[in-house]
Structures are given as C-alpha cells and as structure tokens.
C-alpha cells in the first residue's frame, strides 16, 4: 500500500483533488463544517505536495 500511495500519479491526484475540494468546501458547505473540511483537505494537499517535492531527484551542479 505504501508503494501505491507514494507513486507520482497518485500523489499528483491527491494534491490536485484535495486542493480543489479545499478551495470549494467553504462555499459548498455552510458554517464550521465547511471550514474544517477545507482545512483538512488542505492539509492532505500540502502533504502530497511536500512528498512530490521531496521525491524529486536532486540536480548536480558542476
């Protein structure tokens, strides 16, 4: 399961899907539930984005 979740296509899907839901949730759901849904989905999106950046190969200068 870890291999599947750490694959680049899955990370891109998690990043983009959760980012869109985080932006739309406060408008689609009223009150605290919408805000907290946006915050939770935003946290998942940031985690997936961080994993994408961390998994990038480092360039060698020289």
State yes or no: pLDDT of 62 exceeds 60: no
Reported confidence tier of residue 59, pLDDT bands at 50, 70, 90: low
State yes or no: pLDDT of 45 exceeds 90: yes
Reported confidence tier of residue 57, pLDDT bands at 50, 70, 90: low
DSSP the chain: -HHHHTSHHHHHHHHHHHHHHHHHHHHHS-HHHHHHHHHHHHHHHHHHHHHHHHTSPPPPP-
Per-residue model confidence (pLDDT) at position 60? 57
């Amino acid at each position: 399961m870890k291999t599947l979740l750490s694959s680049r296509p899955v990370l891109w899907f998690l990043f983009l899907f959760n980012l869109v839901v985080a932006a739309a949730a406060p408008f689609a759901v009223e009150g605290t539930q919408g805000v907290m849904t946006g915050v939770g989905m935003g946290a998942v999106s940031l985690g997936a984005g961080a994993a994408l950046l961390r998994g990038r190969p480092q360039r060698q200068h020289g």
